[in-house]
Amino acid sequence: MSTRRIFLKRVGLSTLALGIPMAETLKAMENTKEDKVLRVAIMGLGSYGTRVADAMKDCKRAKLVGVVSGTPSKITDWQSKYDIPAKNCYNYENFDQIKDNPDIDIVYMTTPNSLHKPHCLRIAAAGKHVISEKPMALNAAEGREMVAACKKAGVHLMVGYRMHFELKTLEVVRMQRAGELGKTLFFQGLSGFIIGDPTQWRLDPALAGGGAMMDIGVYSINGARYMLGEEPTWITAQEVKNDPVKFKEGVDETITFQMGFPSGAVASCLSTYSLNNLDKFFLNGTKGFAEMQPSTGYGPIKAWTNKGPIEREHVTHQTVQMDEMAAIILDGKKPMIPVDGEEGLKDLVIVDAIYEAVKTGQKVTLS
Ligand code: NDP
């Protein structure tokens, strides 16, 4: 007997005893759709795609069922490693045919940044939901196209913001929203690592769309927004380049940036490809502070406030993310911090403003 049928049988007995109309209970159960699983194809079988695939082995609501790859040998490896049938394997030329595949619900793009937009448009046209890795696109104009295409196709567009489901992060956000830190007036976000191989796509502006800002800096942008719970109205930014050979034109090595918010709060952030162990969020309010270090790595995340440490269970971020994204799509669940295309677009508007502020040396005002 299926889990759902067993559950309905149990619920039926108990609700009759409580006098709750059976129809209402059945309707509530239909909404949870607890038997349904989100069937996922991963596009781009690289380092992060592999991490997501491994994490999904522990998911209850999401299942890896397909792949899109430009490397035939990886497809064969993944077929045996993750038990993927040949009918669910595609390459970048033929993946539009996914529209005729009823066994795939969503495509998760873990490809270089510049491929997110064109592939998203094709996935949406095929009638499948889309998860894009961060950054969602190269700029806000591309992001808007993605949001519009998914809306037109009636499919979900989400961004792989795994921190939006991380328990210590959510506790700090809850405290901030509940006013437990008082009025939060200052956020500091420090995001960086030393990048290796100079030939990798992350240092190719055509594929990456920039440098550290597009890769690691987006964590501080996104973090400032969810930690303070508001959108910035102005941006200033300064670039420092110590190695112009490795970090060529169009690839930022280090950028410091500041953001001002309607409440009067300010954020001061650093994005760099030249410092390791740089992964810290600090939020200060009139009544207290919260600090996280590491704040966005794969964890365990460490967090504490002026009252002491925040203790929460560490669960592999990508496992929680995929189960929660399944609940968003299958049950209409609303996450505490959004992960939809509009959320990705808000970050891209700020990325554009940071690059403009660096180029012009001027303060950029956002409406
Ligand atoms: P990798 O280089 O490890 O993998 C990218 C994969 O994309 C490749 O293996 C390849 O897979 C495919 N691909 C298609 N076209 C190209 C191309 N022209 N050049 C290179 N690869 C290509 O990158 P990552 O996995 O580290 O990053 C992928 C995305 O995930 C990025 O957007 C990045 O920002 C994001 N990311 C997110 C993280 C997070 O914590 N949320 C962490 C790390 C990355 P195939 O051979 O199968 O086609």
Q: Which atom of ligand 1 is nearest to the CA of 215?
A: 34
Residue burial 187-210, b: 16+ Cβ < 10 Å; e: rest: bbbbbbbebeeeeebbbbbeebbb
Is 359 catalytic? The answer is no
Exactly one of 90, 108, 219, 273 is catalytic; which is it? 219
Decide: 215 in ligand 1 pocket, CB within 6 A: yes
Is 219 catalytic? The answer is yes
- Tell whether 86 and 213 lie within a shared domain: no
Nearest CA to ligand 1 atom 11: 44
Q: Is beta strand 303-305 parallel, antiparallel or unpaired with respect to 308-310?
A: antiparallel
Decide: 47 in ligand 1 pocket, CB within 6 A: yes
The pLDDT of residue 323 is: 98
145 domain residue, yes or no: yes
Q: Which atom of ligand 1 is nearest to the CA of 67?
A: 47
Q: Which atom of ligand 1 is nearest to the CA of 116?
A: 32
CATH number at 124 reads: 3.40.50.720
Decide: 111 in ligand 1 pocket, CB within 6 A: yes
The pLDDT of residue 357 is: 98
* pLDDT tens, N- to C-terminus, the chain (367 residues): 344 444 444 444 444 444 444 555 444 445 455 579 999 999 999 999 999 999 999 999 999 999 999 999 999 999 999 999 999 999 999 999 999 999 999 999 999 999 999 999 999 999 999 999 999 999 999 999 999 999 999 999 999 999 999 999 999 999 999 999 999 999 999 999 999 999 999 999 999 999 999 999 999 999 999 999 999 999 999 999 999 999 999 999 999 999 999 999 999 999 999 999 999 999 999 999 999 999 999 999 999 999 999 999 999 999 999 999 999 999 999 999 999 999 999 999 999 999 999 999 999 999 8
The pLDDT of residue 1 is: 37
Structural domain of 94: 38-161
CATH number at 255 reads: 3.30.360.10
- Tell whether 112 and 129 lie within a shared domain: yes
Q: Which atom of ligand 1 is nearest to the CA of 75?
A: 47
Bridge partners (DSSP) listed for residue 259: 235, 267
- Tell whether 270 and 236 lie within a shared domain: yes
Bridge partners (DSSP) listed for residue 107: 41, 130
φ, ψ (nearest 5 deg) of residue 199: -95, 0
* pTM beyond 0.75, yes or no: yes
- Tell whether 142 and 198 lie within a shared domain: no
Nearest CA to ligand 1 atom 35: 133
- Tell whether 178 and 206 lie within a shared domain: yes
CA distance linking residue 131 with residue 153, whole number of Å: 15
Exactly one of 128, 134, 168, 280 is catalytic; which is it? 134
CA distance linking residue 67 with residue 14, whole number of Å: 43
How many domains does the chain divide into? 3
